[in-house]
Chains A and B, each alone.
Chain A
Amino acid sequence: MRETTRDAFDRALDTRSMRRRSLYVDAWHRLLKNKAAVVALGTLGVMVIMVLVGPWLSEWDHEIPDWDHYSTPPSLETGHLFGTDALGRDLFVRTMIGGQISLLVGLVATMVSLVIGVSYGAVAGFFGGRIDNIMMRFVDGIYAMPFMFFVIVLMVVFGRNIFLIFVAIGAVNWLDMARIVRGQTLSLKNKDFVEAARACGATEWQIIRRHIVPNLLGVVIVYVTLTIPQVILVESFLSFLGLGVQEPLTSWGALVNEGAQELETAPWSLLFPAAFLAVTLFAFNFLGDGLRDALDPKDRV
C-alpha cells in the first residue's frame, strides 16, 4: 500500500511523541545520575519505612515504662535496642514515634506554607502593578519581624496542640515561597502561551490555575524539598524549648531535649534521636540540592 502524505505525517508525529521527553522525565533522569541525591532519596525511603514499621517490631510501647530498666544503655539482652530513658521507656520505640511526628509536621506544615505561598505569590506576580506592590510590601514588612518569636508567642498563646504546630509553622514559613513564586510568575505571564490562552477567552483565574501554576512546579518542588527540613527543624526547636509536641507523644526535638538533660548519665538518650534527626535533615538537604540541579538546567555546569 502506498503511503499517503497523511500516513507519513502521522508516523512522524508518532515517532516524535515516542521520543518526546517531558521536562520532568528529563529531570528525573538527571536526578538519578546524581549519586548523592539518589543516596539521599534511598535514605529517606528507609527512614519513612523504619519509623512507620519500627514501633510494631518492638515488644515495648512508647508510653509504658519497663519497670526493671531505668536509664539502661542499649543492649540486646534487655530488648531495648536504643536503651531506655530515665522513666524506663524504650528509646527505640520513642525514637520511631518521634520520627513519625517530626516527619508528619514537616510534611503538613510545608503543605500549609505551600498553599499560602503559591497562591499569594502567583496572584501578586500575575496581577502585577499596584496589587503586586502592596502585596510584596506586606511580605517585606513581615520579613523584617523576628518570626521565630511569633511562633513562640503563638504556641504559648494557643496551647500546645499538634494541629496548631502545623498551622503556626506553615503560616510563618510561606514568605520565601511567595517571593520565589511571584518572581517566576512575573516572567511567565508575558509568555506567548498565556497570550494564546487569553485569546481563546480563558478567564484570569483559569490562566493562573491551568497555565501559570503547572509551570511553577519545578521551582516549587525544589523549594518544598528544602522547606521540609526547615520545618522539621523549627518543630524540633519548639519541642526543645518545651513548647512543641506534648507527652505522651514525642518528636525528635523533644527527645533531644530530654536526652540533653541526661547527657552525663545516659548519653545514648541524646545520641540516637540526634542521629536520626541529623541524618533526615542531611538527606532532605542533599535531595533538594540534587533536585535543584536536575530541574533548573541553567544552573548546571
Chain B
Amino acid sequence: MIGYSIKRLASAIPTLFLLITFAFFLIRIAPGGPFDSERALPPDIEANLAAKYHLDEPLPVQYLRYLWQIARLDLGPSYHYLDWTVNDLIAQGAPVSFTLGGLALLVALTIGIPIGAWAALRQNRPADYSIMGVAMIGLSIPNFVMAPLLILLFAITLGWLPAGGWEFSPARMVLPVVTLALPMIAYVARITRGSMIEVLRSSFIRTARAKGMPEKEILFNHALKPALLPVISYLGPAAAAILTGSVVVERIFTIPGIGSYFVQGALNRDYTLVMGVVILYGMLIILFNFLVDLIYAWLDPRIRYDEQGA
C-alpha cells in the first residue's frame, strides 16, 4: 500500500506539470495585461512595471522563472491586489472555501446515503418513487437558481437568515452550505439506491437471509459496505463539483473565498492569482482521487493495488 501510494503520488507530478504549463500559456495568450487601465500609463512607468514583474522577458524565460518559483512553493505577488502575495490571498480565502465545501460534502453524505438506502429498500413503491422524483428535481435546479430562491424565501420573505456575508457562525453558513449540498444529496441518494438494489439482489445476501440472519444485521453488516463503493468513487467528481459550485455560491452570498478570486483574477489578467488557484484546485482534485482509491481498497479487500496482476 505504501509503495502504491508513493507511485501514485509521483504520477501526479506530470499531470500537475501539464496543468501548469497549459494554464500558464493559455492565460498569456489573452489580449490585455494586468496593468492595463482606462487611462494609459506613461510608457516609462509601464516599462518599469513590466521590468519589476519580469513581464518584459520572453515568454519561455518567464515560464521557467515561474516553474522555479513554484518549486520553492512561492506563488508570486498578485498583479492586481498590490502588496499581497498570492500565497497570502489563498491562505486567507482557503479556510473559508474549504469549510464551506467540507460541510456541504458532509451534509450530502449524511443525508444522501440513508435516503438512497431507504429508497432501495422500498424499491418501486410510492416512497421510492417520491424520493427519486424529488432527487431528480434537486439535480435539475442549478445552484445559481437555488441560491436566489433560498435567499428570497428565507432571507427576504421570512427574514430568518442573513442573505449574505460571511463569518464562522451557523446562521451565515446555513444557506451557502445547503445550496452547495442539495444537488449532491440528490446525486448521492441516486447512486446509493442503484448500488444498494444491486447488492440486495446478490447471492451472498440471499445466503445471509437463508441462514436466518436478522434483516437489520444483513443491511448494516453485509449490504451497506459494498453498496457504498460507487458513492466513494463519486467523491472525486464531487470534489470538482464543489469547486465549481463554490464559485457561484461565493459570488451570490458575497463570501470571501478563493472561488471569487478566480473569476475576478481572470478578468483582471492577474496571472499569478489565476495560476495559484488553478494549481491549488488541480492538486485538490488529484488528492481527492487518490484518497478515493485508498478508501476503495480499504472497503473492498479484493482490490490490492501493489500486487502484480491482481
User: Is B278's CB under 8 angstroms from A146's CB?
Assistant: yes
Chain B residues lying within 8 Å of A291, measured Cβ to Cβ, are none
User: Which B residue sits closest to A281, measured CB to CB?
Assistant: B140
Most B Cβ at <10 Å: residue of A145, A229, A259: A145
B240 near A147 with CB under 8 A, answer yes
Given contacts A141-B18, A241-B247, A270-B148, contact A149 B140 (CB under 8 A): no
Question: For the complex, what is the distance from the CA of A53 to the CA of B37, rounded to whole Å?
Answer: 44
> In the complex, which of the residues B149, B274, B282 has the most CB atoms of chain A within 10 Å of its own CB atom?
B149
CB contact list, B253-298 vs A, under 8 A: 262-263, 266-267, 274, 277-278, 281-282, 285-286, 289
Render B140-152 as a binary contact track against A, CB cut-off 8 A, 1 for contact: 1110110111011
Which residues of chain B come closer than 8 Å to A181, judged between CB atoms? none
CB distance from B153 to the nearest CB of A (A): 10
Question: At the interface, yes or no: A236 with Cβ under 8 Å from chain B?
Answer: yes
Scan A255-299; emit 1 where CB is below 8 A from any B CB, else 0: 011011001100100100010011101100110010000000000
Q: Tell yes or no: A237 within 8 A of B by CB.
A: yes
Whether B144 lies near A145 (C-beta < 8 A) is no
Bound CA–CA A248/B277 (angstroms): 32
Contact of A157 among B27, B144, B263 (CB under 8 A): B27
Using CB atoms, name the residue of chain A closest to B190: A289
> Does B137 belong to the interface (CB within 8 Å)?
yes
Say yes or no for B174: interface residue by CB 8 A criterion: no
A205 at the interface (CB under 8 A from B): no
* Contact across chains for B277 and A236 when beta carbons are under 8 A apart: no
Q: For the side of the interface on A, what is the size category?
A: 35 or more
Q: Contact: B262 with A236, CB < 8 Å?
A: no
Q: Which residues of B contact A301 (CB under 8 A)?
A: 123-124, 197
| Interface size class, chain B | 35 or more
Which secondary structure characterizes the binding site on chain A? helix
Asked if residues B247 and A148 are in contact (CB atoms below 8 Å), the reply is: yes
The answer on a CB contact under 8 Å between A144 and B286 is yes
User: Is B91 located at the chain interface by the 8 A CB criterion?
Assistant: no
In the complex, chain B residues whose CB is within 8 Å of the CB of A237: 142, 144, 244, 248
Given contacts A144-B282, A256-B148, contact A153 B26 (CB under 8 A): yes
B contact residues around A253 at 8 Å (CB) = 144
Given the complex, which residues of A lie within 8 Å of B18, measured CB to CB? 141
Chain A residues contacting B124 (CB-CB under 8 Å) are 301
Of A146, A236, A286, the residue contacting B285 (CB under 8 A) is A146
Q: Are B144 and A146 in contact (CB under 8 A)?
A: no
Nearest Cβ distance between residue B254 and chain A, in whole angstroms?
12
* A281 touches which of B142, B152, B197, B240 (Cβ 8 Å): B142
- Contacts A152-B262, A267-B152, A270-B148; A236 near B142 (Cβ below 8 A): yes
- A–B Cβ pairs within 8 angstroms, 26 of them: A141-B18, A145-B15, A145-B282, A146-B278, A146-B282, A146-B285, A149-B262, A150-B22, A153-B278, A158-B30, A229-B140, A236-B144, A237-B144, A240-B248, A241-B247, A241-B248, A243-B263, A256-B145, A264-B156, A270-B148, A277-B142, A277-B145, A278-B145, A279-B140, A281-B140, A282-B137
B residues contacting A by CB (< 8 A) are: 12, 14-15, 18-19, 22-23, 26-27, 29-31, 123-124, 136-137, 139-142, 144-145, 147-149, 151-152, 156, 197, 240, 243-244, 247-248, 251-252, 262-263, 266-267, 274, 277-278, 281-282, 285-286, 289
Known: A237-B142, A274-B148. 5 other contacts (CB 8 A): A145-B282, A148-B247, A153-B26, A270-B152, A274-B141
Interface residues of A (CB under 8 A from B): 141, 144-150, 152-154, 156-158, 229, 233, 236-237, 240-241, 243, 253, 256-257, 259-260, 263-264, 267, 270, 274, 277-279, 281-282, 285-286, 289, 301
